[in-house]
Amino acid sequence: MRNLVETKAFPKDLAKKIGKLTSYRARADYEPIFTEQEEAEEAIKIGEDVFNKGQEILELST
């Protein structure tokens, strides 16, 4: 991931959002992963953004 961010192939802000999801996941070891609907919706949106960017990167590399 770091290499993709450093080469600007992957947006830095999206990498930060992935970090946020990682912290949600770590918290889930001790409590339910999403306590608010808003958090769950945000996680879905981030996942969609990551997926779309991944597809874009793959399309550019072929």
pLDDT of residue 2: 64
pLDDT tens per residue, range 7-20: 776 788 888 888 88
pTM above 0.75, yes or no: no
Which amino acid is located at 43 in the chain? A
Residue 18, Cβ density class (10 Å: 0-12 exposed, 13-18 middle, ≥19 buried): middle
Residues 6+ apart with CB under 8 A from 10: 1, 4, 53, 57
Q: What is the pLDDT of residue 3?
A: 66
Q: Which residue has the higher pLDDT, 48 or 6?
A: 48
Q: What is the pLDDT of residue 11?
A: 83
Structure tokens at 30: 């001790």
CA of 60: how far to CAs of 8, 9, 40, 56, 57, in Å? Answer: 13, 10, 30, 6, 5
pLDDT tens string 29-54: 777 666 678 888 988 998 999 899 88
